[in-house]
Every structure is written in C-alpha cells, then in structure tokens.
Amino acid sequence: MSNKRQNIKKRAAIFTLALLASCSPKAQPAPTPDMGAIATQMWVDLSVQQTLAAAIPTATQLPTATPTLIPTPTLLSTPIPAPADPNNYLPVYNPFDYMELVYIPAGEFLMGAPPSEHGLNEDELPQHSIYLDTFWISKTQVTNAMFTACVNAGICNYSVSHTTNPHYLDPLYANHPVVYISWEMAQIYCHWTGGCLPTEAEWEKAARGPDGARYAWGEDLPRLKFVNTNNEYGTTTAAGIFPYGKSYYGVYDMGGNVREWVYDWYDPAYYQNTPERNPMGPLTGEKRVLKGASFSDDYRYCRASNRLSHDPISPGNVRGFRCVYP
C-alpha cells in the first residue's frame, strides 16, 4: 500500500512540474517584417539615388565643326516640298524646334526704296528687281524656348548671364523672341535646325511681297494694331500676336519686336550693284545687316527696305533672328 501511495505522489509531482512549465514565460518570436514599409523605403532610396545621379553633369558632345565667319549652311538633306497650292496648305513645322514655316515662291520682287519714299536712307537706293528661288522661312522670330532647346542639346551657347536678361528662362517669356544673340550664334542655331540665316533679299521679299510694299502689312502707317515698336510696350511681346501686321505671305513680326540678323555683310552701296538673281551680299565686310525694327525703335525703322548694321560678335537686348530653309 505504501508503494502505491508513493507512486501516486510521484505522478502528481510530475504533473505539477509539467503544468508549471507550461505557464512559465517563453521567448517571443521575431516580429513579421512590414513588407509595405520596406517597399516604401526601397522606393525612397531609389528615388534619392536617381536624383543624385541626375544632378551629376554628364559630358555633352560639342559640335566638331568650328564656326567660321561665313559658315557653309548645313541645309536640310531633303528640301521641303513646295505646296500644291501656295495660298492654301497645311502647316509645315521644322522637326528640330517645331517652328512653323512659311513658303515663299520663286519669282521677282522689288527690293529697296523708291526715291520718293519718306524716311529712306541712301543705302536703300535704287529700288531694283531681284529674282529669288523658292524658300521657306520661320513664321515668327526664334523664341527663348526654342533657343534653350539648342543650348540643352549642347550646340548653342547663350551670350549673357541671367542677371542681365532674367526673361530668358522665365516661363512667362518662353514665347518671346530670344535676344542678346550674336550673328554667329544665330547662324549656328539655324544650322542646327537644318537651315541658315536669310539673306537680306530673302528677308525683304518675305516681308514685303512681290510688289515692294512699304511695310510688311502694306502701306498703312505703323501703329499698335500692326507692330510692337516705338516703345509702345517698352519690351518684347510674344512672337506672332499681331495678326494685322503679318506680311503678304503670312510671316509675322517683320516690322517690330526685335531687329533681326540676316546673312549679308553690310555695304552701303550694295543696292547699286546687287546681282539680279539670288544675291548673297558682299563677300567680306566688318558689320552684318539687321532688318526690321525693335520694340524700342522709332516707327520709321519699320519700313521693309530699312537697313541697319552691327558688329556681328556683339549681342544686344534688341537683336534676334529667324531662319530660312530650302
């Protein structure tokens, strides 16, 4: 009997120990990772890495050709086809800067001023007939946004600091004509887009049409309806916002906003000896021709035959440009 009691006590003790063991604290399992938080952190880390990588400047291949005083135009490899109806065709855009282009048909036009024209200068005489082959020309002056694209492509350089011209990268002025551009940089831009600066004859024909109109819009005297000049605004306006001032062929701002560089060297006597077909200007010179008036010029500078000249390496706050294409 005593042995039986001892066995019962032993079993009870073992049960009690097992029960106590089951109630004792256990090591807590490792928490399950929060996969959402981990994914978010990985995305943040990746974004930071990409941002830092983008901030590191990369080498930009510069143009290999060194600009010369009279660069050879790198024209579009395939000339733009002439429209079936020169008076009614779908818009044509340059693939590099998305500038709309205007078709100028081949033929003669009157270049220079008649001796009776009020305000003429001697270098505009005599008025003479010139024949030009067909070409396309920028519908407006090249804008800040367009020129910035050329800078970002590593081809163009902007001439002045943003302190000098805070409007250059201001989004509110993105569609204003770019200024502070030298003749050489204007030519580089036109080459980049497949064209070149217009000759003085091409510019003048695009402005006045075949019959030698006094102004781009016709014979009416200049006023705010037609053109931004005479300090009416005191600064540039967005390109192409004067529909009443467009030329015979539909080209805008050829009487104001900014003066425009053209291809030709300046010679005050050149109109007396101009070739009758496709004149390219004198072979040499010290200054380049500028056509059209700026926002700050007197109304008398709006005449299509008016000729200005300036040192080609000198940019300025009233000098811009447009391009032509074959």
Q: Mean pLDDT, to the nearest integer, of 97-101?
A: 96
Percent of the chain whose predicted confidence (pLDDT) is above 70: 76
CB under 8 Å to 282, separation ≥6 — which residues?
A: 264, 265, 266, 267, 270
Residue 46 above 90 pLDDT? no
**Residue of 112, 172, 97, 111 whose CA lies nearest to 142:** 97
Cβ of 122: how many Cβ atoms within 10 Å?
A: 10
- Intra-chain end-to-end CA distance of the chain, in Å: 125
Our measurement of the distance from residue 255's CA atom to the centroid of its chain's CA atoms, rounded to an integer in Å, reads 20
Which residues lie below 8 Å from residue 165, measured CB to CB, with a gap of 6+? 179, 180, 317
Q: Is residue 283 part of a domain?
A: yes
| Confidence category of residue 205, pLDDT binned at 50, 70, 90 | very high
Dist CA 45 CA 136 (whole Å): 51
pLDDT of residue 193 exceeding 90 = yes
Residue 47 predicted with pLDDT over 80: no
Contact between 109 and 205 (Cβ < 8 Å): yes
Q: Is residue 49 assigned to a domain? A: no
Task: For residue 61, give both structure tokens.
Answer: 């291949």
- Note the pLDDT of residue 2: 47
Classify residue 290: in a domain, yes or no.
Answer: yes
Q: Average pLDDT, stretch 29-39?
A: 41
Alpha helices, H only, 2-122: 2-23, 35-55
Query: 252-268, pLDDT tens digit by residue?
Result: 999 999 999 999 999 99
On the question of pLDDT at 282 being above 60, the answer is yes
Cα dihedral 41, 47, 48, 52 in deg (nearest 10): 160
Of 153, 52, 155, 132, which is closest to residue 324 (Cα–Cα)?
A: 132
What is the average pLDDT value for the chain, to the nearest integer? 83
Looking at mean pLDDT, say which of 69-73, 79-83, 199-203 comes out highest.
199-203
CB 317, CB 133: distance < 8 Å: no
Q: Is the per-residue pLDDT at 27 higher than 90?
A: no
Give how many domains the chain has, as a whole number: 1
Query: For residues 139 and 175, what is the distance between their CA atoms, to the nearest angstrom?
Result: 13
Q: What is the CA radius of gyration of the chain?
A: 36
**156 in any annotated domain:** yes
Asked whether residue 236 is assigned to any structural domain, the reply reads yes
Q: 69 in a domain, yes or no?
A: no
Confidence of residue 74 (pLDDT cuts 50, 70, 90): low
**What pLDDT is recorded for position 159?**
85
Which tokens hold the place of 123?
């270098």
pLDDT for res 24: 40
Res 111: pLDDT: 96
What is the residue range of 111's domain?
A: 92-325
Question: How confident is residue 77, by pLDDT bands cut at 50, 70 and 90?
Answer: low
Between 283 and 13, the higher pLDDT residue = 283
- Residue 250 is part of a domain; what is its CATH number? 3.90.1580.10
- pLDDT (tens digit per residue) in 166-189: 999 999 999 999 999 999 999 999
Mean pLDDT over 59-76 rounds to 42
